[in-house]
Chain A
Amino acid sequence: MNKIISKILFVLLLVFSVSCSEDFLETENKNQLTVENFYKTQQDFWMGLNSLYPPLADRGMFGLEWHFLFNSFDDRILFETTGLDQISINASNESVSSNWRALYFGLYRTNVFIKAIQESDEIEGFPADMRNNYLAQARALRGTYLFYLVTLYNEPIFYDEHSIPTDLIGNLTNGKPEEFWDLLAEDFLFGIQNNYLPMQYPPEDAGRVTKGAAQAMFGKAMLYKHYHYYVRKGKKGSAEDIHDLQLAKDMFKEMINSGQYELIQPKEPKTREDYIHAVLCNFSYVDLPAGKNIYPSENNRESVWEIQYSDERIASGHLPGWQWSGALNVNYFSAHPSSYRNHEAHPDLFMAYETEGAPDGFERDPRAYATLFFDGDRIDFRTGSPYENTTYRSGIHNKRIAYSRGLIQYPATHPSRGFGIKKYYFPVYYEKDAPKNDPINRNMIRYSDVLLMFAEVTYLLNENTTEGLNALNVVRRRVDMPDVPALTKEAIIHERDVELALEGWRWHDLIRWSFDPEWGIDWVQILGRQTGTDDYGTYFIKGKHEYLPIPISEINKHEGQLKQNPGW
Chain B
Amino acid sequence: MNTITMKKGLKLKILLLFLAIMLQGAAIYGQQTVTGSVTDASSGEALVGATVVIKGTSIGTVTDVDGNFSIQVPGLQEDLLISFVGFENQEIPIGGRTVIHVQLQESDVLLSEMVVIGYGTVKKTDLTGSVAVVDSEELNRIPASNFTKALQGRAPGVMVSQSGSPGSSAQIRIRGIGSINQNPNPIYVIDGVITGGLGNLNPTDIESIQILKDASAAAIYGADGANGVIIITTKRGEKGKPKVSLSSYFSLNRVPQQFEVMNANEYSEFYTTLLEENNIAVPVSYDDHFRQWYFGEGWQEGTKWQDEVTRLGMANNHYIRISGGGDDSNYSISLNNSNEKGILLASGANRFGLRANSDFNIGKYIKIGETLSITRNISQSPTTYEGNAWQVTLINSPLMRMFNENNKGGFEGPQIPYEYTMPDGSTEIVGNTGFNDKPNPRGPMEIGDDRNFNNNVLASIYLEIKPVKWLTYKITPAVEGSFNRSKLWYPAFDMGVRSKAQAELTEGFSENINLSLENQLTFSNQFDKHNITATAVHHVRKNEGNSINATALGFPYEQLNVISQSFEEGRQVQGYFSPFTSESYLGRLIYDYDSKYLLTASIRRDGNSRFGPANRWGTFPSVSGAWKVNEDFLQDIDEISMLKLRFGWGQTGNSGIGSFQYQSLLDNFTQFSPVFGMEQRMLPALNVVHSFGNPSIKWEAAEMLNFGVDLNMFNNKVQFSAEYYIKNQNDLLVKIPMSAAFGRVSGAGDPWVNLGEIQNRGFEFIGTYRKMEGAFNYSISGNITTIKNEVKYIPGDILSGNNLTTLGHTIGSMYGYVAERIITQEDFNEEEKYLHALPATGKPSPGDLKFKDLNNDGSINDLDRTIIGKTVPDFVYSLNLEAWYHNFDISLFFYGMQNFEVYNHLRAAIEGFSSQDMGHNKLRDYALNYYRDDRPSEKYIRADMNNTNQNDRPSTWFLESGSFLRLKDLQVGYSLPKWILDSTGLSRARLYVNATNLLTLTDYSGRDPEAPTISGPLTPGNDNGTYPVPRSLTFGVQVDF
Interface residues of A (CB under 8 A from B): 4, 7-8, 10-12, 14-15, 18-20, 24-36, 38-39, 44, 47-54, 57, 81-83, 86, 88, 90-92, 97, 100-101, 104-109, 112-113, 116, 157, 159, 165, 168-170, 172, 203-208, 298-299, 308-310, 312-320, 326, 337-340, 393, 395-397, 399-400, 403, 408-409, 430-434, 436, 439, 530, 533, 535-536, 551-554, 556-558
Residues on the A chain within 8 Å of B583, using CB: 20, 24-25
Contact residue among B429, B437, B679, B692 (Cβ-Cβ distance under 8 Å from A204): B679
**Is the beta-carbon distance between A203 and B677 smaller than 8 angstroms?**
yes
**Is the beta-carbon distance between A208 and B676 smaller than 8 angstroms?**
yes
**Is the beta-carbon distance between B673 and A206 smaller than 8 angstroms?**
no
**Is the beta-carbon distance between B862 and A170 smaller than 8 angstroms?**
no
**Is the beta-carbon distance between B435 and A400 smaller than 8 angstroms?**
yes
**Is the beta-carbon distance between B862 and A317 smaller than 8 angstroms?**
no
**Is the beta-carbon distance between A530 and B738 smaller than 8 angstroms?**
no
Given contacts A14-B475, A90-B841, A396-B431, contact A25 B739 (CB under 8 A): no
**Is the beta-carbon distance between B741 and A408 smaller than 8 angstroms?**
no
Residues on the B chain within 8 Å of A25, using CB: 581-583, 607-609, 616
Shortest Cβ gap from B836 to chain A (Å)? 14
**Is the beta-carbon distance between A310 and B682 smaller than 8 angstroms?**
yes
Given contacts A4-B468, A400-B918, contact A558 B678 (CB under 8 A): no
Shortest Cβ gap from A31 to chain B (Å)? 6
How distant is the Cα of A312 from the Cα of B682 in the complex, in angstroms?
7
**Is the beta-carbon distance between A112 and B689 smaller than 8 angstroms?**
yes
**Is the beta-carbon distance between A8 and B471 smaller than 8 angstroms?**
yes
Known: A11-B521, A157-B741. 20 other contacts (CB 8 A): A10-B467, A18-B517, A18-B538, A29-B659, A32-B660, A32-B665, A39-B688, A48-B687, A51-B672, A83-B915, A91-B862, A104-B739, A108-B689, A112-B688, A113-B687, A309-B680, A320-B675, A338-B499, A399-B283, A432-B501
**Is the beta-carbon distance between B681 and A315 smaller than 8 angstroms?**
no
Shortest Cβ gap from B468 to chain A (Å)? 5
**Is the beta-carbon distance between A172 and B741 smaller than 8 angstroms?**
yes
**Is the beta-carbon distance between B279 and A408 smaller than 8 angstroms?**
yes
- Residue among B437, B659, B673 with most chain A CB within 10 A: B673
Shortest Cβ gap from B694 to chain A (Å)? 9
How distant is the Cα of A112 from the Cα of B496 in the complex, in angstroms?
47
B835 lies within 8 A of chain A by Cβ: no
B597 lies within 8 A of chain A by Cβ: no
Given contacts A35-B664, A436-B570, contact A47 B686 (CB under 8 A): yes
Shortest Cβ gap from A323 to chain B (Å)? 10
Shortest Cβ gap from A216 to chain B (Å)? 19
**Is the beta-carbon distance between B666 and A38 smaller than 8 angstroms?**
yes
- The digit string for B435-461, where 1 denotes a CB below 8 A from any CB of A, is 101000000000000000000000000
How distant is the Cα of A552 from the Cα of B737 in the complex, in angstroms?
13
Residues on the B chain within 8 Å of A432, using CB: 492, 501-502, 554
Shortest Cβ gap from A19 to chain B (Å)? 8
B881-930: which residues lie under 8 A (CB-CB) from chain A? 915-916, 918
Residues on the B chain within 8 Å of A104, using CB: 739-744
**Is the beta-carbon distance between A557 and B745 smaller than 8 angstroms?**
no
**Is the beta-carbon distance between A50 and B685 smaller than 8 angstroms?**
yes
How distant is the Cα of A319 from the Cα of B501 in the complex, in angstroms?
21
B7 lies within 8 A of chain A by Cβ: no
Residues on the B chain within 8 Å of A36, using CB: 664
How distant is the Cα of A172 from the Cα of B671 in the complex, in angstroms?
26
Contact residue among A32, A108, A315 (Cβ-Cβ distance under 8 Å from B666): A32
Closest 9 CB pairs of A and B: A108-B743, A7-B467, A50-B685, A315-B572, A51-B687, A51-B685, A308-B675, A310-B680, A11-B473
Residue of B nearest to A115 (CB): B688
**Is the beta-carbon distance between B685 and A54 smaller than 8 angstroms?**
yes
**Is the beta-carbon distance between A433 and B554 smaller than 8 angstroms?**
yes
**Is the beta-carbon distance between B437 and A319 smaller than 8 angstroms?**
no
Residue of B nearest to A30 (CB): B577
**Is the beta-carbon distance between B674 and A308 smaller than 8 angstroms?**
yes
Contact residue among A30, A338, A393 (Cβ-Cβ distance under 8 Å from B497): A338
How distant is the Cα of A169 from the Cα of B583 in the complex, in angstroms?
34
How distant is the Cα of A212 from the Cα of B494 in the complex, in angstroms?
46
Residue of A nearest to B571 (CB): A313
**Is the beta-carbon distance between A24 and B581 smaller than 8 angstroms?**
yes
Shortest Cβ gap from B956 to chain A (Å)? 19
B42 lies within 8 A of chain A by Cβ: no
B320 lies within 8 A of chain A by Cβ: no
Shortest Cβ gap from B647 to chain A (Å)? 33
Residues on the A chain within 8 Å of B1024, using CB: none
- The digit string for B151-190, where 1 denotes a CB below 8 A from any CB of A, is 0000000000000000000000000000000000000000
How distant is the Cα of A435 from the Cα of B1002 in the complex, in angstroms?
51
Number of interface residues of B (CB under 8 A): 109
**Is the beta-carbon distance between B690 and A32 smaller than 8 angstroms?**
yes
B842 lies within 8 A of chain A by Cβ: yes
Shortest Cβ gap from B437 to chain A (Å)? 7
Contact residue among A4, A52, A165, A399 (Cβ-Cβ distance under 8 Å from B739): A165
Shortest Cβ gap from A322 to chain B (Å)? 13
How distant is the Cα of A558 from the Cα of B683 in the complex, in angstroms?
36
Given contacts A82-B915, A338-B496, contact A27 B581 (CB under 8 A): yes
**Is the beta-carbon distance between A50 and B683 smaller than 8 angstroms?**
yes
- The digit string for B552-594, where 1 denotes a CB below 8 A from any CB of A, is 0110000000000000011011101111111100000000000
B122 lies within 8 A of chain A by Cβ: no
Residues on the A chain within 8 Å of B659, using CB: 27, 29
**Is the beta-carbon distance between A34 and B663 smaller than 8 angstroms?**
yes
**Is the beta-carbon distance between B280 and A399 smaller than 8 angstroms?**
yes
Shortest Cβ gap from B949 to chain A (Å)? 12
- The digit string for B419-436, where 1 denotes a CB below 8 A from any CB of A, is 000000000010100010
How distant is the Cα of A438 from the Cα of B671 in the complex, in angstroms?
18
B797 lies within 8 A of chain A by Cβ: yes
Residues on the A chain within 8 Å of B984, using CB: none
19 A-B contacts (beta carbon < 8 Å): A31-B576, A35-B665, A39-B688, A47-B687, A53-B674, A82-B948, A104-B743, A109-B743, A112-B743, A165-B741, A170-B739, A205-B676, A317-B671, A326-B553, A340-B437, A408-B279, A436-B502, A554-B739, A557-B737
**Is the beta-carbon distance between A15 and B676 smaller than 8 angstroms?**
no
- Residue among B465, B517, B741, B744 with most chain A CB within 10 A: B741
Shortest Cβ gap from A560 to chain B (Å)? 14
B247 lies within 8 A of chain A by Cβ: no
How distant is the Cα of A399 from the Cα of B283 in the complex, in angstroms?
9
Contact residue among B517, B674, B741, B796 (Cβ-Cβ distance under 8 Å from A54): B674
Residues on the A chain within 8 Å of B582, using CB: 25
How distant is the Cα of A405 from the Cα of B415 in the complex, in angstroms?
22
**Is the beta-carbon distance between B738 and A408 smaller than 8 angstroms?**
no
How distant is the Cα of A19 from the Cα of B576 in the complex, in angstroms?
30
How distant is the Cα of A222 from the Cα of B685 in the complex, in angstroms?
31
**Is the beta-carbon distance between A316 and B574 smaller than 8 angstroms?**
yes
How distant is the Cα of A308 from the Cα of B682 in the complex, in angstroms?
9
How distant is the Cα of A31 from the Cα of B669 in the complex, in angstroms?
11
Residues on the B chain within 8 Å of A436, using CB: 502, 553, 570
Given contacts A14-B519, A204-B679, A320-B675, contact A48 B741 (CB under 8 A): no
**Is the beta-carbon distance between A34 and B519 smaller than 8 angstroms?**
no
Shortest Cβ gap from B666 to chain A (Å)? 4
- Residue among B283, B517, B580, B685 with most chain A CB within 10 A: B685
How distant is the Cα of A568 from the Cα of B843 in the complex, in angstroms?
18
Residue of A nearest to B283 (CB): A399
Residues on the B chain within 8 Å of A206, using CB: 676-678
Residues on the B chain within 8 Å of A552, using CB: 862
**Is the beta-carbon distance between A319 and B672 smaller than 8 angstroms?**
yes
How distant is the Cα of A393 from the Cα of B678 in the complex, in angstroms?
33
Residues on the B chain within 8 Å of A168, using CB: 692, 736, 738, 751
B241 lies within 8 A of chain A by Cβ: no
Shortest Cβ gap from A162 to chain B (Å)? 15
How distant is the Cα of A169 from the Cα of B734 in the complex, in angstroms?
13
B272 lies within 8 A of chain A by Cβ: no
**Is the beta-carbon distance between A313 and B572 smaller than 8 angstroms?**
yes
How distant is the Cα of A557 from the Cα of B660 in the complex, in angstroms?
26
